[in-house]
């Protein structure tokens, strides 16, 4: 069970500060009374809207006598600049913040056996998943490790955070690749909004088997929209077990999933420029809305910060070469193309980012050309024209009727939720191993 939970319509900064102090009090009782070396593991800037950066700073300030270090759980995302660290983590000194190196900065810990992967995915994936994790995490002595993160519907693990921080956020290339392609072949729409997906079940098993000696705890953040349509913190769940995550995920499922009786004809989604600079992360707009969009419908993504496709040069090249052009084509190419086989997580992304020809995806990027967008299988729109038509200052969250009569469903922060028809979300074939 969680050590404690705080829930409310909108938690105040004082309540959150109190939760930070209580967390450390409990940690001294339950894990280590003498906190000399503490490691904080927050998300990266693509989840800055969660307030996790501010909470991380609160933990740092609450430990003035300890040596505290911080590793943003980047996965294979681009490391933060010093300015970005300051923007997200405030007064934490740059020399205490370490970038995760998913290629060269990991240590092999163990392996999740192929038999378990095959069993949990009902045979969709049948390969082992190596557990290669951040070297600083695994080889240095820590008195306490604090995982801080936003629990929200997620395309690979059903809901984000909990031990995703380790296996993806601080995972090595082979771990991330084997994991993502397993989730992709199992099916993105079989994962979204499930408390325990097959891949998470594998991680849960590995955490019990391989990471049980880590002196760690989880601070799980849940958010929702208040009466003024502002994202606010509605829950903090603190503890060191699976139930801590499950309680947070259940609350997120109640508050962050919007369902519809009928599918939507047109969705307009906005990806903030200070968080989303590549389609690799901006495609959360595709992932989180795909179960709500009608056959023949359209998703328009306003992404003024997008300047590339992949977070890494090899993934960017892969997306440019093969595009988001459907699962059958992508998996057929994966059988023979060496560049695809070298980075399977990139292949998984190509699958996740395709509408499978069911609806149109139109991108309005700030820094990619019409030719570049169309080359990968999307339609192009001019971002300035689209921002003028769908003006954030006048658009309402949800349904809007434009002056010419067009009806659109507007989403200002797609990464904070999941939108689906009731039929798809409640499909009996979707497996939840919770």
Q: Give yes or no on whether 4-257 and 261-426 have one common fold.
A: no
Q: What is the pLDDT of residue 287?
A: 97
The CATH class, in words, for 261-426 is: alpha beta
Q: Which two tokens stand for residue 229?
A: 């349509």
pLDDT higher than 90, residue 42: yes
Q: How far apart are CA 400 and CA 406, in angstroms?
A: 8
- pLDDT tens digits, one per residue of 353-412: 999 999 999 999 999 999 999 999 999 999 999 999 999 999 999 999 999 999 999 999
Confidence of residue 8 (pLDDT cuts 50, 70, 90): very high
- pLDDT tens digits, one per residue of 152-198: 999 999 999 999 999 999 999 999 999 999 999 999 999 999 999 99
Q: What is the pLDDT of residue 270?
A: 98
Q: Which residues of 173-205 are buried (b: 16+ CB within 10 A; e: fewer)?
A: bbbbbbbbbbbbbbbbbbbbbbbbbbbbbbbbe
Is domain 4-257 given the CATH code 3.40.50.11440 in the classification?
Answer: yes
Within 13 Å, how many C-alpha atoms sit on residue 125's CB side? 26
Within 13 Å, how many C-alpha atoms sit on residue 346's CB side? 25
Share of the chain above pLDDT 90, in %: 96
Confidence of residue 66 (pLDDT cuts 50, 70, 90): very high
- The single residue listed with the structure tokens 């800055």 is 48
More confident residue, 289 or 46: 289
Q: What is the pLDDT of residue 44?
A: 94
Q: What is the pLDDT of residue 47?
A: 86
3-state secondary structure the chain: CCCEEEECCCCCHHHHHHHHHHHHHHHHHHCCCCCCEEEEECCCHHHHHHCHHHHHHHHHHCCCCCEEEECCCCCCCCCCCHHHHHHHHCCCCHHHECCCCCCCCEEEEEEECHHHHHHHCCCCCCCCEEEEEEHHHHHCCCCEEEEEEECCEECCCEECCCCHHHHHHCECHHHHHHHHHHHHHHCHHHHCCCCCCHHHHHHHHHHHHHCCCCCEEEEEEEEEECCCCCEEEEEEEEECCHHHHHHHHHHHHHHHEEEECCCEEEEEEECCCCCCCEHHHHCHHHHHHCCCEEEEEEEEEEECCCCECCCCHHHHHHHHHHCCCCHHHHHHHHCCCHHHHHCHHHHHHHHHCCCCCCCEEEEEECCCCHHHHHHCCCEECCHHHHHHHCCCCCCCCEEEECCCCCEEEEECCHHHCEEEEHHHHCCCCCCCCC
Q: What is the pLDDT of residue 205?
A: 98
Q: How far apart are CA 85 and CA 78, in angstroms?
A: 12
- pLDDT tens digits, one per residue of 300-333: 999 999 999 999 899 999 999 999 999 999 999 9
- pLDDT tens digits, one per residue of 249-273: 999 999 999 999 999 999 999 999 9
Q: How far apart are CA 347 and CA 339, in angstroms?
A: 10
Q: What contacts 212, CB < 8 A, 6 or more positions away? A: none
Q: Where are the domains of the chain?
A: 4-257, 261-426
Q: What is the pLDDT of residue 359?
A: 98
**Residue among 172, 96, 86, 174 at smallest CA distance from 134:** 172
Q: Which two tokens stand for residue 428?
A: 């009996």
Q: What is the mean pLDDT of residues 213-242?
A: 96
Mean of pLDDT over the chain: 97
Q: What is the pLDDT of residue 105?
A: 97
Confidence of residue 46 (pLDDT cuts 50, 70, 90): confident
- pLDDT tens digits, one per residue of 120-157: 999 999 999 999 999 999 999 999 999 999 999 999 99
More confident residue, 45 or 362: 362
Q: Do the beta carbons of residue 41 and residue 73 sit within 8 Å?
A: yes
Q: What contacts 207, CB < 8 A, 6 or more positions away? A: 163, 166
Q: How far apart are CA 234 and CA 9, in angstroms?
A: 5
Q: pTM score, two decimals?
A: 0.93
Q: What is the mean pLDDT of residues 30-37?
A: 98
């Amino acid at each position: 069970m969680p050590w404690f939970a705080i829930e409310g319509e909108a938690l105040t900064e004082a309540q959150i500060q109190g939760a930070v102090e209580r967390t450390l009090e409990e940690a001294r009782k339950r894990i280590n009374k003498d906190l000399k070396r503490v490691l904080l593991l927050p998300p990266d800037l693509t989840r800055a809207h969660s307030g996790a950066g501010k909470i991380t700073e609160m933990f740092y300030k609450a430990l003035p006598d300890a040596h505290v270090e911080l590793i943003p759980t980047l996965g294979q995302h681009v490391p933060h600049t010093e300015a970005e660290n300051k923007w997200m983590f405030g007064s934490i000194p740059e020399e205490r913040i370490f970038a995760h190196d998913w290629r060269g900065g990991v240590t092999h810990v163990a392996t999740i056996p192929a038999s378990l992967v095959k069993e949990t995915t009902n045979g969709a994936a049948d390969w082992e998943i190596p557990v290669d994790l951040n070297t600083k995490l695994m080889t240095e002595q820590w008195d306490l490790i604090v995982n801080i993160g936003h629990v929200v519907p997620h395309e690979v693990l059903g809901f984000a955070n909990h031990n995703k921080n380790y296996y993806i956020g601080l995972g090595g290339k082979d771990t991330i690749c084997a994991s993502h392609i397993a989730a992709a072949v199992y099916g993105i729409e079989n994962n979204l909004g499930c408390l325990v997906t097959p891949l998470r079940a594998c991680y849960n098993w590995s955490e019990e088997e391989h990471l049980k000696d880590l002196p760690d705890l989880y601070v799980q953040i849940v958010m929702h929209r208040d009466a003024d349509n502002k994202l606010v913190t509605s829950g903090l769940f603190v503890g060191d077990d699976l139930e801590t995550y499950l309680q947070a995920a259940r609350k997120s499922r109640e508050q962050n999933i919007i369902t519809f009786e009928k599918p939507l004809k047109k969705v307009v989604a906005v990806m903030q420029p200070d968080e989303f600079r590549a389609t690799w992360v901006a495609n959360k707009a595709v992932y989180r809305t795909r179960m709500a969009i009608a056959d023949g419908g359209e998703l328009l993504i306003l992404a003024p910060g997008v300047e590339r496709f992949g977070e890494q040069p090899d993934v960017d090249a892969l997306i440019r070469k093969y595009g988001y052009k459907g699962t059958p084509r992508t998996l057929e190419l994966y059988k023979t193309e060496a560049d695809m086989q070298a980075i399977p997580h990139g292949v998984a992304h190509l699958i996740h980012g395709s509408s499978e020809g069911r609806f149109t995806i139109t991108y309005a990027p700030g820094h990619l050309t019409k030719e570049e967008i169309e080359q990968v299988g999307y339609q192009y729109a001019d971002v300035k024209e689209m921002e003028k038509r769908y003006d954030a200052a006048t658009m309402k969250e949800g349904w809007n009727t434009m002056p010419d009569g067009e009806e659109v469903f507007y989403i200002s922060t797609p990464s904070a939720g999941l939108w689906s028809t009731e039929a798809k979300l409640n499909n009996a074939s979707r497996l939840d191993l919770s």
